[in-house]
Structure 1
Amino acid sequence: MVAAALHGETSRPALFIAATSGNVLGAVVNFALGRFLIRFEGRRWFPVSPTNRQKAEALFARYGQPVLLLSWLPVIGDPLTLVAGLLRMKLPLFLLFVTIGKAARYAVVLYLTP
């Protein structure tokens, strides 16, 4: 996204929408894995290790659903979205928190890109 912004052929709003949408869709995949496919945990292709899942569960228990505002963070972001599915969080609320967090990250990145 930064390279595309520096190149200047694509508008920044389009980059923002594309990056945010793609990242939120990835989070929805993790949500679905937590909700419907957790039985496959431990398989090589499963995106979240049991250790990271336990850490995310502890964060969720401590801070509640707004912790999904941090879903953009490396290492803990994917487990958080998986745990939201495990806990059967309502999808509209999940989308609200995740979209705000990820959109904020891309807004900051684009703002800081010359």
Structure 2
Amino acid sequence: MLETLSAFITDYGYLNLFILSFLASTVLPFGSEALVIALVYQGFSPFTVVMVATTGNFLGACTTYYLGLKGRHVLEKYLSPSPEKLEKSEQLFNKYGVYTLLFTWVPGIGDVITMVAGLMQLPFRSFSILVFLGKFGRYLVIAYSIVLLNGGF
């Protein structure tokens, strides 16, 4: 069983990572960190792992942002965010501004932050830069922590 899983990771690692990272950036209860760690342990290029995970996660966030642009009724129909999380995210935006987007990687509230950014019709350019940087930073820390813990491979 372990051999089969290892082969699956090796054969389709980057594709699996992209899909999982994309889905993890919606309100679906997925996480991509374990696969990032597994791929780095398997000897995949840490930089490529970071870029694939960041790109998938960023594009998932863009999808959630787009649904937010379409309005609250679309969000409720497709993503069903809790009113409490939406309200908390709106409060964060009102208090800290657009830089809240740097924290869209935070589990539980990050996906709602991207929804609120769409609802508030924040400019896509600002959204893109800050969300990409935040997600890139998170994956960079995860991947290179594994590299450092293993003596630099």
TM-score by length of 2: 0.69
2:59 to 25, 31, 53: 25
Gaps of 5+ in 1: none
- Give the drift of 1:38: 2.2
CA distance in 2, matches of 1:13, 1:47: 34
**Quick check: 2:67–2:75 contact (8 Å CA) kept in 1?**
no
CA distance in 1, matches of 2:79, 2:57: 18
CA distance in 2, matches of 1:90, 1:33: 14
Structure 1 residues 81 and 46: CA distance shift in structure 2, 3 A: same
Aligned to 2:84: 51
**Quick check: 1:42–1:50 contact (8 Å CA) kept in 2?**
no
Structure 1 residues 47 and 112: CA distance shift in structure 2, 3 A: farther
Task: Give, as a single letter, the amino acid of the residue that structure 2 aligns with 1:4.
Answer: L
Runs of 4+ residues over 4 Å off in structure 1: none
Aligned to 2:126: 93
Aligned to 1:14: 48
Task: Give, as a single letter, the amino acid of the residue that structure 1 aligns with 2:73.
Answer: R
Aligned to 2:28: none
State percent identity of aligned pairs.
36
Aligned to 2:72: 38
Gaps of 5+ in 2: 1-35
Task: Give, as a single letter, the amino acid of the residue that structure 2 aligns with 1:39.
Answer: H
**Quick check: 1:48–1:78 contact (8 Å CA) kept in 2?**
no
User: With CA pairs under 8 Å and 6+ residues apart, which has the higher RCO, 1 or 2?
Assistant: 1
TM-score by length of 1: 0.92
Alignment of 1:102 onto 2:135: yes
Superposition CA RMSD, Å: 1.2
